[in-house]
Amino acid sequence: MESIGSFLLDQVLKMNWLSDLLWEPVVALGLDPSSAWGGSVHFFLYDTIKITTLLCVMIYLISYVQSHFPPERSRKIMGRFDGIGGNIMGALLGTVTPFCSCSSIPIFIGFTRAGLPLGVTFSFLISSPMVDLGSLVLIMSIFGPEVAVAYTLVGLVIAVVGGSIIERLHMDDQVEAFVRGDAPTDAELVSMTRTQRLAYARDETASTFKKVFPYILVGVGIGALIHNWIPQEVIEPILGSSNPLSPVLATLAGAPIYADTFGAIPIAEALFAKGVGLGTILAFMMSVTTISIPSITMLSRAVKPRLMVVFIGICLVGMTISGYVFNALQPLFS
């Protein structure tokens, strides 16, 4: 069993065979594999191919699963739970409900008008971009299953706790007037046939690929730069364990950046190889995926500034804390 598990992890998810194979074009180009140029070219080819392949396979599978969980349905499920149960369901359903920034406002309004507590809606809104099956598999392919599971659990905890805090603060007056209003006429769910689900999964894969591929290239490019050109002595004092503020820096640096896990992971991978702590890296990835200037701009159309500040603050503090916790726990993961 164990050998099957490690085969799946090393050869299927991590694609070690591909890594071995790709030294050949590097050598064929006349580059020394141990030189910075050779290493950069190899890192770039290997990560681009690996991440793109995982992206396409995962988005296809995920989209198929997600087609069973339209937000209308998730809303009904969440509505059946009270108190913290609602927050937990919100965080869990956030991971499987299809979510693009163009749907965030309609979802926010739909949930609110249906009478879902504000805290439950925010649990959903926090977990939705941060945790999904794609990031779970991707993190597993680079950092191993323990780290991937830990990342997912931490993301869910931040979503549940964050939503609960927002609930306790009674900020229901902090949403724009148009968000309130009549409860929606229970819109008839347009269900899909199997063929339509497969077509949906195919289209999602194609459009996600088109959207994300440039980010992957940029991410892998930065990763290759860090991996082979920036010496450890430069990175260590800023993001390494010698700087007690490194999780704070990583969280703040990631916040304005708009990318998803697929663009962030090559940078995380390269930083990890340079001795940056696991927690610092997880904090950076969460921050990149969850908060960004476009997503904040979008949400601020429906949410008043005070709630916006609370939302961003909770996310930043939650990510920073988990950064410290994981840095402290890192010996357990190696």
* Residue 179 contacts other proteins per CB under 8 A: yes
Of 162-170, 177-185, 230-238, 248-256: span binding other proteins (CB under 8 A): 177-185
What is the nearest approach in angstroms of other proteins to the Cβ of residue 125?
13
The nearer residue to other proteins, 188 or 233, going by C-beta atoms, is 188
Of 183-191, 247-255, 284-292, 322-330: span binding other proteins (CB under 8 A): 183-191
- 56-115 residues in contact with other proteins (CB under 8 A) are 67, 70-72, 75, 98, 100-103, 105-107, 109-110, 113
**In sequence order, which residues have a C-beta less than 8 Å from that of residue 289 and are 6 or more positions away?**
129, 130, 135, 259, 260, 261, 264
Among 28, 34, 168, 185, which residue sits at the site for other proteins (rule: CB under 8 A)? 185
Helix, strand, coil shares, percent, the chain, to 5: 80, 0, 20
The nearer residue to other proteins, 6 or 196, going by C-beta atoms, is 196
Tokens matching residue 42: 């190899």
CA angle 177, 183, 186 (to 5 degrees): 140
CA separation, residue 36 to residues 39, 225, 273 (Å): 5, 9, 14
C-alpha neighbours within 13 Å on the C-beta side of residue 190: 2
* Residue 239 contacts other proteins per CB under 8 A: no
* Residue 301 contacts other proteins per CB under 8 A: yes
* Residue 198 contacts other proteins per CB under 8 A: no
- What's the rounded Cα separation, in Å, for the pair 250 and 319? 10
Tokens matching residue 225: 């730069």
What is the nearest approach in angstroms of other proteins to the Cβ of residue 15?
31
Q: By the criterion CB under 8 A, which residues form the site for other proteins? A: 67, 70-72, 75, 98, 100-103, 105-107, 109-110, 113, 178-179, 181-182, 184-188, 190, 192, 196, 199-200, 203, 207, 301-302
